[in-house]
Amino acid sequence: MPVSPLTVEIAATAARLVVEEGLEYGPAKQRALRELGKRGLPNGELPDNDLVEEEVRAYLALFCAETQPAELAALREVALQWMERLAEFRPHLTGAVWRGTATRLSDVHLQLFCDDAKSAEIALLNARVDYAVGSTRGPRGRSVDVLSLATPSAALGEAVTVHLSILDHDDLRGALRPDARGRTERGDAQALRRLMAAQPGAEADPA
């Protein structure tokens, strides 16, 4: 089905907000609607995440080509450090840092697949790591805990926010299934190392 010009305009506006303000896709689309003065859109006019991501990549290529690859590499290094530190909890990287669209405004999103939901939190407490507890919708539609912490990045010269979503070990079974385009939504430390070795701004490999 052809994409309407309005849908493309919303996606492009949302992409700008994602890159310039570090918004997640959902809030960026809603903000784009407000900025464009659009309300009561017909069904199908709101862009899906794939279209927003296409526009994000286009925006990065046009306006951030000189800075974004190094910023992405720095965030992936932070992600890998925490994945190695939390290796016992089967960490997987997801979100913009995994997909290759992150900038210095992006947060690092790790998913931990735990036998005991409190084990990762206990590990942070034992390591004297300060964190805040929030929640998000998990893969089965239920609420899961998210542990958020700040960690320094020498390459960026500032702190990076890392979010740890606490999932059940059983959730790992379907976690690596590719999407409709053959891309994986997340990857473990080994997969991340392959991306980092390929090139600083590499996109997540298909499964």
**Tell me: the pLDDT tens digits for 31-59?**
999 999 876 666 568 899 999 999 999 99
The beta strand positions in the chain, using DSSP E, are 92-94, 108-114, 132-137, 143-153, 158-168, 186-187
The pLDDT assigned to 203 comes to 61
Q: Give residue 207's pLDDT band: very low, low, confident or very high (50, 70, 90).
A: very low
Q: Report the pLDDT averaged over residues 143-161.
A: 97
Q: Tell which phi-psi region holds residue 157, choosing left (phi > 0), alpha (psi between -120 and 50) or beta.
A: left
Domain 68-198 class, CATH top level = alpha beta
Between the alpha carbon of residue 108 and those of residues 31, 41, 173, the distances in Å are: 22, 32, 22
For residue 118, which phi and psi values (nearest 5 degrees)?
-95, -5
The pLDDT assigned to 174 comes to 61
The pLDDT assigned to 188 comes to 95
The pLDDT assigned to 135 comes to 92
**Top-confidence residue, 169 or 196:** 196
The pLDDT assigned to 206 comes to 42
Q: Report the pLDDT averaged over residues 71-97.
A: 97
Q: Where exactly does CATH 3.30.460 map onto the chain? A: 68-198
Enter the DSSP assignment of 95: S
From the list 167, 127, 125, 160, the residue with the least C-alpha distance to 144 is: 167
